[in-house]
A and B are shown apart, each in its own frame.
Chain A
Amino acid sequence: MSIPLEHDYIGLSEAPSMERASDKISSASSSTISSESEKSTALNLRETELRLGLPGSESPERKPQLGVSLFGKDLEDKTNGYSLGSLKGFVSGAKRGFSDAIDGSGKWVFSVNGGSEVDLGKGAKSCMPGPAMKDVAAPSSPKPVQEKKPQASAANEHASAPAAKAQVVGWPPIRSFRKNTMASSAKNNEDAEGKSGLGCLYVKVSMDGAPYLRKVDLKIYCNYMELSSALEKMFSCFTIGQCGSHGLPGRDGLTESHLMDLLHGSEYVLTYEDKDGDWMLVGDVPWEMFTESCKRLRIMKGSEAIGLAPRAMEKCKNRN
């Protein structure tokens, strides 16, 4: 259910938990200090100290950091919005998660890739078609992203401050439908590395002569065979009768084997564009390397593919 997740964010916390939360912060922060002291330029722990003050009083000597002012102010005004109190509770959880991330795996930078929840969350955001839209419509989906984000940003940023920042439900106030679109378009503009930690890896597949593109998720295939048979099924309607009729019903065995012949023969070859913008033949590099570097696929006519093979071999050698 979506509601419980929501409360972990913004759920009301009574006074006892507020104290617990502040305890957690101070203990977590001390462990954070010891391991991160040389890096903690951004995190000013004074901000997290429990201070008493009248509601509405400011402390001008503070320079609140991004996000830290949230619970800095909060600790000051105990009668302030409950949600701020619970944000602390959440934040302390995030901090603990962060130290866990450090303790748990040696390479904590890669905990984003390893952490399944983070991936799912991010994946749900960047996957464009149907399932993602479905998730966005339900409030539960964006929340995993938001909850896990501090861990992700902590892992990515090499700084201790991010762990202190809370992700608030529905803030900034961007329409959930819009933010899903923007996340995809912003990420598409980054290089492939930005995609590598995600739960799905959509690349466009174009075929010479076909009237529109398709998309495949490279992550759901384990090897070239699976990919190529999926592409065969997807594009069989185009290759049959290369006069361009694509409304043909039924993809029976005859059709697929014909396409396989086409693909494996000299008619069509499967090529891809890699991170550097070069077009290479599919199949020359190990599968994992391929999925990491492939930006898009193209089924091109065999005649146009001459000269691609040597480049692929060279690149492979350079990488190894």
Chain B
Amino acid sequence: MDSKRKKDSPESNELTRSSPFPDEVLERVLGLVKSHKDRSSVSLVCKDWYNAERWSRTHVFIGNCYSVSPEIVARRFPNIRSVTLKGKPRFSDFNLVPLNWGADIHAWLVVFASKYPLLEELRLKRMTVTDESLEFLATTFTNFKALSLLSCDGFSTDGLAAIATHCKNMTELDIQENGIDDLGGGWLSCFPENFTSLEVLNFANLSSDVSFDALEKLVSRCRSLKFLKVNKNITLEQLQRLLECAPQLTELGTGSFHQELTTRQYAELESAFNNCKNLNTLSGLWEATPLYLPVLYPACMNLTFLNLSDAALQSGELAKLLARCPNLQRLWVLDTVEDKGLEAVGLSCPLLEELRVFPADPYEQDVVHGVTEMGFVAVSYGCPRLHYVLYFCRQMTNAAVATIVKNCPDFTHFRLCVMNPGEPDYLTDEPMDEAFGAVVKNCTKLQRLAVSGLLTDLTFEYIGKYAKNLETLSVAFAGSSDWGMQCVLSGCSKLRKLEIRDCPFGNEALLSGLEKYESMRSLWMSACNVTMNACRRLAKQMPRLNVEVMKDEESDDSQADKVYVYRSVAGPRRDAPPFVLTL
């Protein structure tokens, strides 16, 4: 039963309340408001609405686990069933944050055990999760249904075994890319034989074999299974058997797409895909070759999301596949498809909204292959609805980007990574300032921007002047002086997350944002020109900010090598490891 709040007597209520609605009605109405931003706005209207909002909320999203404490969350929101938590700074994905930095889920689980015993869903990103925590979760929350882990670390497949063993009502087990200690595939066999509730199963990023027998039986008895993403060890033959058990799938991640099949097996596989009428998302496809891709064709008509980032396809194979995917909205590929492959994207996928191109060989610096500005331009001509792009390339020009944003003015997320730091326009040798200038001038809805290439302060002047809706900015190896960062801090009124590495921004820039940081979620600056004294000043003047510094071992005492600044109502961290200095 939901906790009920005590009410004032009806008479005094009517005299003092400002809202004409009884509480129950208000809560009922507000219960339909789902978006976090809307709920935040609702809670600011008046006290009644604040209370109605907090009683009716069932899902809480916490973008920085250290901005608030679990006790504070539980005090404000008594009826939470679903929690989303993000922990470490994003650059921890790229090894810029040492191990044992923190963001451990356990303290949260302990509070939830007493305050939210009916907790159903937990979605974690960049948190540290131990096997003990997973076992605690599995044994304490009897109603627990959905677990999603992305970029987390600290756990092993033993923790998954605990989840599978004890969570009787599990509907979702979504293990995305994590630093998991893969000790074996036995966890899958821990789902009890009478367990049938699973709707989402994703173990694509685990490397050990699971028992195929157990998997097949699990898939057969979970009639509501909608998302199934298996790992690389599942063969085509096994995939075919799984598809026979579960033609109702809407999202499928295949295993290895390379196996010698007999003609009969090939036909069976093709027929299995033909029977999957509801498939809208496809991924996996490791080692896919031209020989086997055609079995997918019957299922392609309804595909809206195709994730080929694990399949090193060439342009011809991609073109043939995409010709059958006219309804594609999201596409992830490796740059092995080259510009020619991207031309095919432009030709075949007019409804495309999101494109991500990942580098197959990010650390090979003499690679002749990959994609260039031409591929991106080709996509922009064919896909006017494009609004999300993540593009890794080795060369780019200002002119190309200008063309791209002219063709696609609706960008909300523009993440361009020219892989060589400080790379100029390869035709003119100029900085790439005008490219990003064009982006921010043309794309008024821009929320997220990642810049790269040779950039001076001019880029940041443009950003500060034009990117009025910008919320997230990622900067690396760019800028000329403090002025650049100052422009961004003073101009981008909606800025929430700023992450900077290896830029010549120093104390003046850091301190120019004094007033700003409380309206932001966080600031990260590493390998810049910031000193410890400046950080101390910041900490002193802004007590509601946590200013944390991590020093590199060989640096001198005055340098603040890695600075992480974030607003918090929970005060300084109590679990900071010795290498995190809270100023």
Name the segment of A64-72, A260-268, A304-312 touching the other chain.
A64-72
Given contacts A66-B394, A133-B207, contact A186 B177 (CB under 8 A): no
Q: Find A177's partner among B177, B213, B481 (CB 8 Å cutoff).
A: B177
Q: Find B181's partner among A134, A178, A212 (CB 8 Å cutoff).
A: A134
* A272-308 interface bits toward B, Cβ cutoff 8 Å, 1 = contact, 0 = none: 0000000000000000000000000000000000000
- Determine whether the beta carbon of A58 is less than 8 Å from that of B207: no
* Distance between A310 CB and nearest chain B CB, rounded to angstroms: 21
- Determine whether the beta carbon of A181 is less than 8 Å from that of B559: no
**A173: nearest residue on chain B (CB-CB)?**
B94
A136 at the binding interface (Cβ < 8 Å): yes
A143 at the binding interface (Cβ < 8 Å): yes
- Determine whether the beta carbon of A133 is less than 8 Å from that of B527: no
B470 at the binding interface (Cβ < 8 Å): no
User: What residues on B are CB-neighbors of A106 within 8 Å?
Assistant: none
A139 to B423: give the CA distance in the assembly, Å: 27
Q: Find B554's partner among A12, A62, A189 (CB 8 Å cutoff).
A: A12
User: What residues on A are CB-neighbors of B208 within 8 Å?
Assistant: 129-130
- Determine whether the beta carbon of A82 is less than 8 Å from that of B527: yes
Interface centre among B233, B454, B502, B555 (most CB of A within 10 A): B502
Given contacts A12-B556, A73-B422, A82-B527, contact A176 B365 (CB under 8 A): no
Q: Find A186's partner among B91, B361, B392 (CB 8 Å cutoff).
A: B361
User: What residues on B are CB-neighbors of A211 within 8 Å?
Assistant: 211-213, 238
- 394-440 of chain B: CB within 8 A of chain A: 394, 417, 419-424, 429-431
- Determine whether the beta carbon of A11 is less than 8 Å from that of B554: yes
B25 at the binding interface (Cβ < 8 Å): no
- Determine whether the beta carbon of B529 is less than 8 Å from that of A170: no
Name the segment of A1-9, A24-32, A107-115 touching the other chain.
A1-9
A63 to B233: give the CA distance in the assembly, Å: 47
User: What residues on B are CB-neighbors of A246 within 8 Å?
Assistant: 213
- Determine whether the beta carbon of A177 is less than 8 Å from that of B366: no
B179 at the binding interface (Cβ < 8 Å): yes
- Determine whether the beta carbon of A79 is less than 8 Å from that of B98: no
Given contacts A55-B504, A69-B454, A142-B95, contact A172 B529 (CB under 8 A): no
- 458-488 of chain B: CB within 8 A of chain A: 474, 476-477, 480-481
A167 at the binding interface (Cβ < 8 Å): yes
A157 at the binding interface (Cβ < 8 Å): yes
- Determine whether the beta carbon of B153 is less than 8 Å from that of A11: no
- Determine whether the beta carbon of B529 is less than 8 Å from that of A182: no
- Determine whether the beta carbon of B179 is less than 8 Å from that of A133: yes
Interface centre among B417, B424, B552 (most CB of A within 10 A): B552
- Determine whether the beta carbon of A186 is less than 8 Å from that of B504: no
* B537-561 interface bits toward A, Cβ cutoff 8 Å, 1 = contact, 0 = none: 0000000000000001111100101
B371 at the binding interface (Cβ < 8 Å): no
- Determine whether the beta carbon of A14 is less than 8 Å from that of B556: yes
B183 at the binding interface (Cβ < 8 Å): yes
- Determine whether the beta carbon of B209 is less than 8 Å from that of A214: yes
**A134: nearest residue on chain B (CB-CB)?**
B181
Q: Which residues of B contact A (CB under 8 A)?
A: 91, 93-96, 98-99, 151, 153, 177-184, 205, 207-209, 211-213, 232-235, 238, 286-287, 309-312, 334, 336, 358-366, 392, 394, 417, 419-424, 429-431, 454, 456-457, 474, 476-477, 480-481, 501-504, 527-529, 552-556, 559, 561, 579
Instruction: Give 20 A-B pairs besides A70-B420, A82-B527, A139-B95 with Cβ atoms closer than 8 angstroms.
Output: A2-B98, A12-B552, A12-B561, A66-B423, A69-B424, A77-B480, A82-B559, A129-B207, A133-B182, A134-B181, A169-B95, A171-B476, A172-B419, A174-B358, A176-B93, A177-B151, A177-B205, A188-B287, A213-B233, A213-B235
